[in-house]
């Protein structure tokens, strides 16, 4: 199948935006529950959610304080924040609208409905009264759309670029969650280490990994075990290794894949060699920073190889 570069580009970003909307909703939901469970005075700050998404400059340009209302408005409803749930759903809709001829017809219907729902309810869901219902709807409908695509789309190039975007975005978000958990949540400046298991359990829930962790590792939530599990478990769909392995499968089905595969394999080897149990918090942070740069570089290589029009 020969596919226009602009169509491949839009499918790739459609998948990234849908995954970003779902992951932001998951993280916001889990963190809101965490704040309500931790005793007053021991809870971490709301700025952690902004740090996870690396959005401090954008937040600081419009808000003065990192309180619950400001952070949740920024993440859920802010029309000036490209990474808000409202905007990522809108961007996904626009990419679906321009690629409807290569997608199942129901995908457009469900994405358009999600867009209309987000436009109506995002502002009303910043407060606690409607927030959980809104986030549940976003998560559930993103899963429905992704499930529809995965279960009906022919395994051709359209599917490959969707899967590449999907897994790249998921790997990026997973490393962000662990980075902030290892840094801001478990820093030496904190005085309530007894709540650390609650915090790490919340991070696992944001990845839908709590039940699998308990079945695979055990009932105790310990930092090194959590990090190693989320980084290197072969069978967890939201682990970094699972995402990288899935990306490799899809890259292998494309032509001119040498540069992308070379970079991907280098980072897969680095992930396998990294000794989580021996690493300090600073070493883990440095590793994740380097890894995220690698994800961005891989995205750039994919764009340069398959999305830029061929010279005439």
How far is the C-alpha of 27 from the C-alpha of 25, rounded, in Å?
6
- Do the domain assignments include residue 274? yes
Cβ–Cβ under 8 Å, residues 209 and 229: yes
The total domain count for the chain is 1
Q: What is the mean pLDDT of residues 136-165?
A: 95
pLDDT tops 60 at residue 312: no
Q: Which pLDDT belongs to residue 309?
A: 62
- Separation in Å, CA 65 to CA 55, 56, 207, 248: 14, 11, 28, 42
Higher model confidence: residue 38 or residue 189?
38
Closest CA to 107 of 11, 238, 239: 11
- Do the domain assignments include residue 312? no
- Predicted TM-score (pTM) of the model is 0.92
Q: Which pLDDT belongs to residue 44?
A: 73
- CB neighbours of residue 58 within 10 Å: 18
- Do the domain assignments include residue 149? yes
* Dihedrals phi, psi of 22, to nearest 5 degrees: -65, -45
Q: What is the mean pLDDT of residues 190-209?
A: 77
- Do the domain assignments include residue 270? yes
For residue 188, name the pLDDT band (cuts at 50, 70, 90).
Answer: very low
Q: In the block, which residue shows the tokens 């149990």?
A: 277
Cβ–Cβ under 8 Å, residues 234 and 242: yes
- Do the domain assignments include residue 81? yes
- Do the domain assignments include residue 242? yes
Higher model confidence: residue 309 or residue 66?
66
Q: Is 255 exposed, middle or buried (0-12, 13-18, 19+ CB in 10 A)?
A: exposed
pLDDT tops 50 at residue 191: no
pLDDT tops 60 at residue 1: no
pLDDT tops 70 at residue 189: no
Q: Which pLDDT belongs to residue 183?
A: 57
Quick: pLDDT tens for 107-126: 999 999 999 999 999 999 99
Percent of residues, the chain, with pLDDT higher than 70: 92
DSSP code, position 120: H
Higher model confidence: residue 77 or residue 30?
77
pLDDT tops 80 at residue 87: yes
Per-position b or e across 279-303, b if 16+ CB within 10 A of its CB: beeeebbebbeebbebbeebbebbe
Quick: pLDDT tens for 12-46: 999 999 999 999 999 899 888 888 777 776 667 88
Q: Which pLDDT belongs to residue 31?
A: 84
Q: Which pLDDT belongs to residue 280?
A: 81
Q: What is the mean pLDDT of the chain?
A: 89
Give the range of the structural domain holding residue 133, as residue numbers without chain letter.
Answer: 5-307
Q: Crossing angle, helix 240-252 and helix 258-273, to 10 degrees?
A: 160
How far is the C-alpha of 145 from the C-alpha of 42, rounded, in Å?
38
Percent of residues, the chain, with pLDDT higher than 90: 70
Q: Which pLDDT belongs to residue 186?
A: 47
- CB neighbours of residue 37 within 10 Å: 13
Q: What is the mean pLDDT of residues 231-253?
A: 95
Higher model confidence: residue 53 or residue 153?
153
């Amino acid at each position: 199948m020969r596919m226009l570069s602009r169509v491949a580009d839009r499918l790739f970003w459609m998948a990234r935006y849908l995954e970003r909307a779902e992951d932001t909703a998951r993280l916001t939901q889990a963190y809101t529950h965490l704040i309500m469970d931790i005793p007053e005075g021991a809870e971490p700050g709301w700025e952690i959610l902004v740090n996870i998404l690396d959005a401090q400059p954008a937040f600081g340009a419009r808000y003065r304080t990192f309180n619950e209302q400001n952070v949740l408005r920024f993440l859920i409803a802010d029309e000036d924040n490209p990474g808000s749930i409202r905007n990522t759903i809108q961007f996904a809709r626009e990419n679906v609208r321009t690629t409807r001829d290569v997608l199942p017809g129901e995908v457009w219907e469900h994405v358009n409905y999600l867009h209309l729902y987000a436009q109506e309810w995002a502002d009303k869901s910043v407060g606690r009264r409607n927030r959980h219902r809104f986030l549940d709807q976003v998560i559930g409908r993103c899963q429905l759309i992704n499930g529809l695509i995965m279960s009906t789309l022919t395994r051709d190039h359209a599917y490959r670029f969707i899967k590449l975007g999907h897994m790249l975005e998921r790997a990026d978000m997973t490393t962000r969650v662990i980075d902030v958990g290892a840094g801001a949540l478990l820093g030496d400046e904190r005085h309530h280490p007894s709540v650390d298991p609650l915090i790490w359990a919340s991070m696992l829930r944001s990845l839908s990994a709590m039940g699998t962790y308990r079945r695979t590792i055990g009932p105790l939530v310990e930092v090194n075990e959590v990090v190693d599990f989320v980084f290197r478990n072969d069978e967890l769909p939201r682990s970094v290794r699972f995402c990288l392995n899935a990306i490799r499968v899809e890259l292998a089905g494309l032509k001119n894949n040498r540069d992308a595969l070379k970079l991907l394999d280098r980072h897969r080897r680095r992930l396998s060699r990294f000794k989580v149990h021996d690493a300090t918090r600073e070493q883990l942070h440095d590793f994740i920073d380097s890894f995220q740069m690698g994800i961005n570089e891989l995205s750039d290589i994919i764009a340069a190889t398959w999305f830029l029009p061929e010279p005439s």
